A and B are shown apart, each in its own frame.
Chain A
């Protein structure tokens, strides 16, 4: 299953399938991009980040891809599980004067169908 950034806020996938959550960012000067997961009733939780000079980074069952040409970021979750059901936020950071400004997107809700 695949979402198209901020205009399709809900993504439903079958358990075991791969999920792709997309995000369009705004500032070409951003130096890091981050994905957070927020479960219902909880605060956001860091998943993975990627530096702006990279185009791919892998974690445990997750891969983040960065395409700076079109200012696009994606989070791929392999073998999606019910515990992956949550809202996923992308964020971009800009470091200036020693301070890292973080701007969050509005999020995509991932629903895993058992």
Chain B
């Protein structure tokens, strides 16, 4: 049971380059999320998908786009990377129903933009 799988684990980009972070979950969860984690800032929500076919902006969406490809997969795209996007990115999923609060996180992608 893999849970939430993110790829790649590490990436270095030059300013202006683009890339897509991939995320897949095998728990049949409805809701999926992308967060970034910076020192002293905690986890901040970039985008989320409450259910298949929907996506919405979180706290810090600027410079990112997302695609909920199907129920399993939720990708995050940086069209033109900037040094301010250097961060650790986490994908998460939840059942998205009832009072179940537990979110399952991937291992993270450490992105450096130079």
Do A46 and B103 have beta carbons less than 8 Å apart?
yes
Residue tally, chain B, CB below 8 Å to A: 22
How distant is the Cα of A11 from the Cα of B101 in the complex, in angstroms?
26
Selecting from A14-22, A65-73, A74-82, A96-104, the interface stretch reads: A96-104
Q: Shortest CB–CB separation between residue B15 and chain A, in angstroms?
A: 26
Do B101 and A100 have beta carbons less than 8 Å apart?
yes
Interface size, A (range): 20 to 34
Most central of B90, B101, B102, B103 by chain A CB within 10 Å = B101
CB nearest neighbor in A for B39: A106
Q: Note all chain B residues with C-beta closer than 8 A to A44.
A: 43, 90, 103, 105
Binary per-residue interface labels of chain B (35-72) against chain A in the complex, 1 for a CB within 8 Å, 0 otherwise: 00000111111000010000000000000000000000
Q: Note all chain B residues with C-beta closer than 8 A to A41.
A: 107-108
5 closest Cβ pairs, A-B complex = A43-B105, A106-B42, A104-B43, A46-B102, A104-B42
Interface residues of A (CB under 8 A from B): 32, 34, 41-46, 49, 51, 89, 93, 98-100, 102, 104-107
